[in-house]
């Protein structure tokens, strides 16, 4: 990598879109609804199809069509998963700020280092969603360095980025 | 095989019960949360317990419950199911134990054959990992450089199957090559990636491969 390009990339300012508490709660709720509703129903449908293929007469053509249908349901679930993960990373609810950001980065093929972290749950949610939204917008193979500093009643998130420039 | 299931989604759970019965397994219990599952396996041991990761007690009751089941009945195989394939959850599953543990997407166990295969592997102490997650972990970086990029096509296939937790024999069968050839490929992969540990010990080898792949994805 050209050192000058690298330097230029490093100082490029990143503007995060803040996520307010109401939006955080809404996004969290939507992800949960998606998981408990449609995703669960589609997974159950796939199980139904699996059962159907047990009861069917031994017919390779029919078995093949059931396989195809199950494949289509897999695609629907993958798409729902994509939407759910973008709304609210599942790891954020269970494990908090840093593991959630690493999970989002890993999914998108982005390298990430995190230092510091918010203390309370609401700030962690807001900061994580803002950074996660940004992570999804950068090209694969970007390296990001996220630093969280706590101020009086506020949290500062600094991000530096390095891109692989050919 | 004797199986118990815990999932708070009744629709999926009941479907899975029927599928397990159709596959000839005995479903000892079907419950809606982790505490009930622990009570169940305490009185009535099972070969494999199937747990939804996201169920009560919140927020990740499946993982906490799996830990309790492992402590109570170490010989019980554990299959963790989720709507998400996350390496973070995979690592947490492997912290619970490195033998007879599995992590799969719910919709991917929706057939008698795959369910049977998964349970058999778990009962014999293998690690079972969602193939789509293994595939994502072994993806080559865009530039194609780095140690994983230096693997041959065949070695890359072997690495992916190792990351699924497959044994040498299963890898040989899948790739239509001899077990001897698989051993040679594995030795070459361990050298090229500079992996620690003994590749002939199944669970150590899976852990070494996964730790390496995950670090590569996260730290770049």
| Segments making up each domain of chain B, as ranges | 2-129, 134-219
Q: pLDDT tens, A18-46? A: 889 999 999 999 999 999 999 999 999 99
pLDDT tens figures, A118-162: 778 888 999 999 999 999 988 887 889 999 988 777 788 888 888
pLDDT surpasses 60 at A10: no
Highest CATH level, class, for B2-129: alpha beta
**What residue in A sits closest to B63 (Cα-Cα)?**
A94
Look at the block and give the residue holding tokens 């057939």: B111
Pairing of strands B2-6, B26-31: parallel
* For residues B56-79, average pLDDT: 94
- CB within 8 Å: A51 and B18: yes
Q: For residue A115, what are the β-bridge partners? A: A147
At B141, is the pLDDT very low, low, confident or very high (cuts 50, 70, 90)?
A: low
Neighbouring residues of B173: CB distance < 8 A, sequence distance ≥ 6: none
pLDDT over 50 (residue B156): yes
The answer as to CATH 1.10.10.10 being correct for domain B134-219 is yes
Which residues in chain A have Cβ-Cβ distances shorter than 8 Å to B11?
40-41, 44
> CA of B150: how far to CAs of A143, B42, B146, in Å?
22, 49, 6
Q: What are the chain B neighbours of A81 within 8 Å (beta carbons)?
A: 83-84
- Please state, in angstroms and rounded to a whole number, the distance separating the CA atoms of residues B126 and B169: 13
Tokens of B158: 């072997």
- Res B218 pLDDT > 90: no
Outline where DSSP puts E strands in B7-134.
26-31, 48-52, 77-82, 101-105, 128-129
- In the predicted model, what is the mean pLDDT of residues A61-84? 95
Answer yes or no: do A111 and B219 touch at CB < 8 A: yes
**How far apart are alpha carbons B122 and B78 in whole angstroms?**
7
Is residue A166 predicted with pLDDT exceeding 50?
Answer: no
pLDDT (0 to 100) of residue A7: 44
Contact between residue B63 and residue B89 where contact means Cβ atoms under 8 Å apart: yes
CA closest to A109 among chain B residues: B217
In this model, does residue B102 exceed pLDDT 60? yes
**Domain range list for chain A:** 3-162
**pLDDT greater than 70 at residue B142:** no
pLDDT averaged over chain A?
A: 87
Alpha carbons A96 and A119: distance in angstroms, whole number: 10
């Amino acid at each position: 990598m050209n050192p000058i390009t690298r330097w230029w990339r490093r100082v490029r300012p990143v503007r995060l879109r803040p996520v307010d508490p109401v939006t955080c709660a809404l996004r969290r709720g939507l992800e949960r609804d998606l998981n408990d509703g449609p995703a669960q129903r589609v997974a159950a449908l796939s199980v139904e199809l699996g059962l159907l293929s047990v009861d069917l007469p031994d017919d390779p053509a029919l078995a093949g069509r059931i396989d195809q249908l199950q494949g289509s349901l897999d695609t629907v679930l993958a798409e729902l998963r994509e939407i759910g993960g973008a709304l609210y990373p599942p790891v954020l609810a269970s494990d908090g700020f840093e593991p959630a950001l690493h999970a989002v980065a890993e999914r998108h093929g982005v390298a990430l280092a995190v230092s510091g972290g918010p203390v309370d749950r609401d700030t962690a949610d807001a900061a994580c969603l803002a950074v996660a939204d940004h992570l999804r917008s950068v090209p694969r193979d970007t390296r990001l360095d996220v630093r969280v500093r706590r101020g009086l009643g506020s949290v500062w998130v600094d991000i530096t980025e390095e891109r692989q420039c050919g | 095989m004797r199986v118990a299931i815990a999932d708070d989604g009744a629709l999926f759970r009941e479907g899975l019960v029927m599928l397990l019965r159709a596959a000839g397994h005995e479903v000892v219990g079907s419950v809606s949360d982790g505490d009930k599952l622990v009570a169940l396996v305490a009185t009535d041991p099972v070969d494999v317990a199937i747990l939804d990761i996201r169920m009560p007690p919140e927020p990740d009751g499946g993982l906490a419950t799996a830990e309790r089941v492992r402590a109570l009945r170490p010989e019980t195989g554990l299959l963790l199911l989720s709507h998400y394939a996350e390496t973070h959850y995979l690592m947490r599953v492997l912290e619970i134990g490195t033998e007879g543990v599995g992590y799969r997407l719910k919709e991917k166990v929706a057939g008698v054959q795959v369910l049977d295969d998964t349970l058999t592997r778990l009962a014999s102490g293998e690690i079972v990992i969602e193939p789509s997650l293994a595939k994502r972990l072994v993806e080559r970086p865009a530039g194609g450089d780095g140690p994983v990029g230096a693997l041959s096509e065949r070695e890359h296939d072997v690495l992916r199957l190792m990351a699924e937790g497959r044994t040498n024999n299963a890898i040989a069968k899948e790739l239509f090559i001899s077990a001897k050839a698989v051993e040679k490929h594995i030795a070459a992969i361990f050298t090229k990636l500079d992996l620690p540990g003994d590749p002939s010990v199944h669970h150590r080898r899976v852990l070494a491969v996964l730790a390496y792949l995950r670090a590569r994805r996260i730290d770049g």
